[in-house]
Structure 1
Amino acid sequence: MTTFSAVVTTGIYCRPGCGARPRAENCRTYELPAAAEADGFRACLRCRPYRVAAPVGADSPELVCRAWQMIIDGVLDEGTEAALAARVGVSARHLRRLFVKHVGASPDQLARSRRAHFARRLLDDTDLTILDVAFVSGFGSLRQFNRSMREVFRSSPSDLRRRRHRADRLVTDGGLALRLPVVPGYDWDAVRGLLAVRAVPGVEVVDGETYRRTVRVEGAPGVLEISPGGAGWLLLRAHLPYWEGLIHVVDQAGRLVGADADPSAGVRALAADPALGPLVLARPGLAVPGAWSPFDAGVQAILGRGGRSPESVREWLAAVVAGLGTPVPGLPGGLTHAFPNAGAVTADALAAIGLPDQDADLITALASSVAAGRPELRPGTSVAALADLPWAVPDLRHALAFRLGAREAFPSAEAPLRAALVALGLDRPDAHPGKGPWPALAAAHLMSHGNAHHH
């Protein structure tokens, strides 16, 4: 995990590897920039820690992780800590106490830091006006934006824009270009390989080193492109109809490619395994890719049930996309549709596509749960939580939870993973990786190994 160092004599905190060399006795360490900022430190102008991926630790309590995910999804953009606490079933005071203990900052401080850091990246990377930067970063007013930036960076937004280096501005052939921070050692080649295998026809495509997908923003279509960037970041190009909600679009893109997942603890835990160790050590930077949305994840998980081959799953996905997706004409590289909206899915529409009855029933139930905002269908949900959804039959829970980022998920019923287990002799009960540590990371490495071996 990334550790930030704060120097009490200067009031500045830095990312790892910064050239500053303070005395050890003058330093404090923090896992999150927001925690350093809550204690009064400001970001270093030289190493720019706002460009580093800093996820909440995997050892934080489940309630804290759930509340943090809601903050990322924007629950505090207009809401209050009290409303957030009510949604997770505790008092506001208790929630603040948990956050300060395990994260080092209150929910409001985390939300403010997150918005300010995203805005600072936009000031560096783009030519968006300061008013637009405030708007797309989730600030309610320009006054609130100016106040928060001064509190976090000790400078006004206009001063920060003037201070950016000539090389900071990203110049690309269209779209809005942004740096997407990733954890140290992140392996884009390995993640891209997994994304390619499960790409939804017409919606996603991997072309060389670049991943592209269609998205919808406020009902209108757009396109995201993710490609290699520099040390510690990927290049994200966003072609969107509106900039409203950009901070959430970028968060979704980061979850999709596992940008903020730190696999280092899992690598250490799996390295000693005789069968998995060599796979993990060959690709230590492989992160578990997530999903663009719970509905995307659920449809893929449902169509992958019963050991269907990847080719068969792609055929059914293509049929669902062509039948229910939103056409997006004029795009290159085989992108033709945006993925169907859960609200547009009905049993009759699925029947017209010709889906098997059980798949159609499950997708209809999934769409109803998504439309109802069921809390179990969220990034990072647990396998156990999905049991509260009546339609989430046992063999579906692991497949869906795996795509939503559950560390304990192991979708062993899916054909690619089962084939890898057989090939490595790990399909015996006494050797099954799903019962060991870090099951989801083990599953990702097995899938990656199977893909490489197949091709």
Structure 2
Amino acid sequence: MTTYSAVRTTGIYCRPGCGSKPLAENVQTFELAAAAEAAGFRACLRCRPYRVAGTVADEAPELVCRAVQLIIAGVLDAAGEAALAARIGVSARHLRRMFHEHLGVTPDQFARSRRAHFARRLLDDSELGIAEVAFASGFGSLRQFNRAMREIFRASPKELRARRRKADRLTADGGLVLRMPYTPPYDWEAMSAFLKANAIPGVESVEGGIYRRTITLDGEPGLLEIGPGGPDHLLLQAHLPFWEGVIHVVDRAAALVGLETDLSMARQFLHGDPEIGPLLAARPGLRVPGAWGPFELAVQAIIRNPPSPAEVDGAQEPSTVRRAPGEVPGDEVLRKVVEVYGVRVPGLGFGLTHLFPGPEALVGVEPVAALAREVAEGNITLDCGRPEELGRRLEEVPGVSRRAAQLVVMRLGGRDAWPLDGEAGHLSPWRSLAAFHHLIGDYAKAS
């Protein structure tokens, strides 16, 4: 977790390691850059706090962490705090109170700070025009963008771009390339190995340590590439049909590879366990992976983890995509689903051929027909706003095993999922991290 130091006499806040040496009695600390900004401090021009990862500490209540995930997904772009609160089952007043108590900001202030920091990175790293940066960062207008940048950075976007350093500029043969910051340690080798072993044929691939996948933005196809960049960041190269709202593309990519979580408390809690402790020590940089699309994740979890005989109760023979135990490997079923029901995208290479189909396309396709129908009709929302409820709801859907449901909850940010045998209650409330240390197995060795 990054702790920011703000100096009352200068009105400036810094990240750890900055060369400034203020008197201790003049220093106030914040866990979020947004909280320092809400208190009236501006970012240091020397250490540039906006260029480091700004994750929310895992000691924050899970309700707050779920709300943060929804903000990152863009819920506040088109709705207010009341809609956000409703998604997690509390009142807007209670949500604001929880944010103030644990983060030092309101949900709106948190969202605005993220947009401004992302825009500042785009001004440094890219050659996008000022207006393109504004809309790529999620601002609704140039006026709103200019006002936020002046309030947070005390300068106009044009002035901020003039200050960028030569080494900041990133170039690529095509697309937009951006840094994805993280707080070390981070185990990209293990993460990319896991993603490779679980890649959906035609939609995802990992070659030479680079993860690639197809995506869709408002119905138009795009391509993402994620790979190692430096000791404190990955590199994302995005090939997109337009740049508007690209902040959410980057945020979703960061969540996919586990950059949006701070696990310091989870590690502290688990390190003394005789079984999990040695695994944590062996891979201190292991993060729980997220997912690009919740429905896509749920489909692959169901296909790759069919119900056990004890869980099956009157199941009917699938009619469209056949899957009998031991008959067709999960990858082949997924490949068939993608080829038959996904949208073809030619000319990408790297084995990428299709966009993953949406729930409406799979309503009649076994073994995921029941889930697709529930999602398409709005009966299940796969955003993990309330992870325990989501897990229970998924297990009620025909064809969804307990393991599949718990894998979905784990990869959508639930802290206490357990997609393994047994209960492991002594590892609660951080079973997700413990489970992933078990699941990672020999993926990295095999990659």
Q: TM-score, normalised by structure 1?
A: 0.88
**1:396 — aligned with what?**
404
- Contact 1:408–1:439, Cα closer than 8 Å, also in 2: yes
Residue 405 of structure 1 aligns to a residue whose secondary structure is coil
- Contact 2:126–2:178, Cα closer than 8 Å, also in 1: yes
Q: Take 2:107 and 2:99, find their aligned partners in 1: how far apart are those partners?
A: 7
- Whether 2:338 is the aligned partner of 1:321: answer yes
| 54-63 or 231-240, larger mean C-alpha shift | 54-63
**1:122 — aligned with what?**
122
Residue 25 of structure 1 aligns to a residue whose secondary structure is helix
How far residue 282 of structure 1 moved from its aligned partner, in angstroms, is 1.3
Structure 2 residue corresponding to 1:449, chosen from 421, 441, 446: 441
Query: Deviation per CA, 1:10-69, whole angstroms, max 9, x where unpaired?
Result: 111111222222222211111111111110011111111112222223232333223222
- Contact 2:215–2:224, Cα closer than 8 Å, also in 1: yes
Structure 2 residue corresponding to 1:382, chosen from 383, 387, 390: 387
How far residue 259 of structure 1 moved from its aligned partner, in angstroms, is 0.9
- Contact 1:280–1:445, Cα closer than 8 Å, also in 2: yes
**2:370 — aligned with what?**
365
How far residue 86 of structure 1 moved from its aligned partner, in angstroms, is 4.3
- Whether 2:362 is the aligned partner of 1:345: answer yes
1:282–1:148 Cα change, 3 Å: same
- Whether 2:351 is the aligned partner of 1:334: answer yes
The letter for the 1-side match of 2:333 is W
Q: Take 1:325 and 1:69, find their aligned partners in 2: how far apart are those partners?
A: 27
Q: Take 2:340 and 2:182, find their aligned partners in 1: how far apart are those partners?
A: 36
Q: Take 1:252 and 1:381, find their aligned partners in 2: how far apart are those partners?
A: 19
The letter for the 2-side match of 1:338 is L
How far residue 272 of structure 1 moved from its aligned partner, in angstroms, is 2.4
1:203–1:343 Cα change, 3 Å: same
- Contact 1:213–1:225, Cα closer than 8 Å, also in 2: yes
**1:420 — aligned with what?**
none
Q: Take 1:221 and 1:452, find their aligned partners in 2: how far apart are those partners?
A: 30
- Equivalent pairs counted in the alignment come to 426
**1:416 — aligned with what?**
none
Aligned residues: percent identity?
A: 56
How far residue 379 of structure 1 moved from its aligned partner, in angstroms, is 4.6
**2:286 — aligned with what?**
286
Q: Take 2:144 and 2:376, find their aligned partners in 1: how far apart are those partners?
A: 32
Q: Take 1:402 and 1:88, find their aligned partners in 2: how far apart are those partners?
A: 17
Q: Take 1:329 and 1:154, find their aligned partners in 2: how far apart are those partners?
A: 46
How far residue 454 of structure 1 moved from its aligned partner, in angstroms, is 6.2
The letter for the 2-side match of 1:444 is F
**1:241 — aligned with what?**
241
- Contact 1:279–1:449, Cα closer than 8 Å, also in 2: no
How far residue 175 of structure 1 moved from its aligned partner, in angstroms, is 0.8
**2:417 — aligned with what?**
409
Tell me, which stretches of 5 or more residues in structure 2 are unaligned? 309-324
The letter for the 1-side match of 2:414 is A
- Contact 2:135–2:244, Cα closer than 8 Å, also in 1: yes
Residue 349 of structure 2 aligns to a residue whose secondary structure is coil
1:278–1:83 Cα change, 3 Å: closer
Residue 387 of structure 1 aligns to a residue whose secondary structure is helix
Residue 84 of structure 2 aligns to a residue whose secondary structure is helix
The letter for the 2-side match of 1:436 is L
**1:37 — aligned with what?**
37
1:69–1:372 Cα change, 3 Å: farther
- Contact 2:190–2:444, Cα closer than 8 Å, also in 1: no
| 38-47 or 75-84, larger mean C-alpha shift | 75-84
1:388–1:447 Cα change, 3 Å: closer
- Whether 2:75 is the aligned partner of 1:58: answer no
Residue 296 of structure 1 aligns to a residue whose secondary structure is helix
How far residue 287 of structure 1 moved from its aligned partner, in angstroms, is 0.4
**2:184 — aligned with what?**
184
How far residue 89 of structure 1 moved from its aligned partner, in angstroms, is 4.2
How far residue 433 of structure 1 moved from its aligned partner, in angstroms, is 4.8
Residue 108 of structure 1 aligns to a residue whose secondary structure is helix
Q: Take 2:62 and 2:436, find their aligned partners in 1: how far apart are those partners?
A: 22
- Contact 1:53–1:181, Cα closer than 8 Å, also in 2: yes
1:181–1:379 Cα change, 3 Å: farther
How far residue 309 of structure 1 moved from its aligned partner, in angstroms, is 8.2
Q: TM-score, normalised by structure 2?
A: 0.89
Query: Deviation per CA, 1:261-300, whole angstroms, max 9, x where unpaired?
Result: 2233222333223332222111100101111111111001
1:310–1:270 Cα change, 3 Å: farther
- Whether 2:276 is the aligned partner of 1:276: answer yes
**1:223 — aligned with what?**
223
**1:426 — aligned with what?**
none
| 200-209 or 382-391, larger mean C-alpha shift | 382-391
The letter for the 1-side match of 2:375 is V
Q: Take 1:66 and 1:402, find their aligned partners in 2: how far apart are those partners?
A: 13
Residue 5 of structure 1 aligns to a residue whose secondary structure is strand
Structure 2 residue corresponding to 1:439, chosen from 424, 431, 439: 431
How far residue 73 of structure 1 moved from its aligned partner, in angstroms, is 2.1
Residue 295 of structure 1 aligns to a residue whose secondary structure is helix
Q: Take 1:92 and 1:410, find their aligned partners in 2: how far apart are those partners?
A: 31
Q: Take 1:128 and 1:454, find their aligned partners in 2: how far apart are those partners?
A: 40
Q: Take 2:186 and 2:95, find their aligned partners in 1: how far apart are those partners?
A: 32
Residue 234 of structure 1 aligns to a residue whose secondary structure is strand
The letter for the 1-side match of 2:157 is P
Residue 133 of structure 2 aligns to a residue whose secondary structure is helix
Q: Take 1:223 and 1:78, find their aligned partners in 2: how far apart are those partners?
A: 25
Tell me, which stretches of 5 or more residues in structure 1 are unaligned? 351-356, 414-428
1:140–1:103 Cα change, 3 Å: same
Q: Take 2:339 and 2:215, find their aligned partners in 1: how far apart are those partners?
A: 15
| 436-445 or 58-67, larger mean C-alpha shift | 58-67
